[in-house]
Structure 1
């Protein structure tokens, strides 16, 4: 399966994730949903979340120009909110999965989708 298929099939087709990307921990976007663009600065900020979770807790994270407040963050996950929507960011062995959701999807529904893909990628060494 290509990285784009992971975004399209495992994330977007669930209906619980509206925008998504997979970025490499060494840099670069591996795949993203149509029109979803993370600037190089946003990509670096996402990667820093996992080395300094307290900074993300204090100032949130920007994705494709939108600021999300960190509801929960640690060295493996960030759950963020913006209005009634939010984001789920999960670190794997070599990548970071980013998923954004809009109402009526709730955080736990979106978190489950992104976490499931994260668990799978970790299980196969990615």
Structure 2
């Protein structure tokens, strides 16, 4: 599972197999797991929250050059899948926490970890 915390700060070190990276809203620059997150990907995620959740579920998401079918969209969370991979996005007051999972991983573990991190950040006022 890769976790991207998109915020205006420096790269954060994590355990092996995970990555926490940054997004600077003023420059629209982000990096994820050593590969760049395109500004269009960031806009897609932000738009997913700005739209009516029903519309986001209908249209899906395009992230990291893949089309994802949206399986959940509400004010704080977006879940989307593409075959046996997926993306989980949790919005806090200041951050987007974005986690991806691949084949062989349990989506439920990705969802739980991402939601708990988002809940923790919201409680801290972030």
Q: State the TM-score bracket (shorter-chain normalisation).
A: 0.7 to 0.9
Report the Cα distance in structure 1 between the residues aligned to 2:92 and 2:28, rounded to whole angstroms: 15
> Equivalent residue for 2:6?
none
> Equivalent residue for 2:98?
98
1:1-126 → structure 2 map (5 Å cutoff): 4-5=11-12, 8-9=13-14, 13=15, 15=17, 21=21, 23=23, 28-29=28-29, 32-35=32-35, 37-52=36-51, 53-126=53-126
Using the size of structure 1 for normalisation, the TM-score is 0.76
Report the Cα distance in structure 2 between the residues aligned to 1:96 and 1:40, rounded to whole angstroms: 14
Counterpart contact for 2:56–2:70, Cα < 8 Å: yes
Using the size of structure 2 for normalisation, the TM-score is 0.76
The superposition leaves residues 39-76 of structure 1 with CA deviations (integer Å, 9 ceiling, x where unpaired) of 22221121111121222211111211111110111111
Task: Please tell me the root mean square deviation across aligned C-alpha atoms, in Å.
Answer: 2.5
The superposition leaves residues 7-63 of structure 1 with CA deviations (integer Å, 9 ceiling, x where unpaired) of x42xxx375x6x76554677735653211x322222112111112122221111121
Counterpart contact for 1:69–1:81, Cα < 8 Å: yes
Aligned length: 117
Give the structure with the larger helix fraction. Answer: 1
1:104 match: secondary structure: coil
Counterpart contact for 1:24–1:94, Cα < 8 Å: no
Report the Cα distance in structure 2 between the residues aligned to 1:68 and 1:27, rounded to whole angstroms: 26
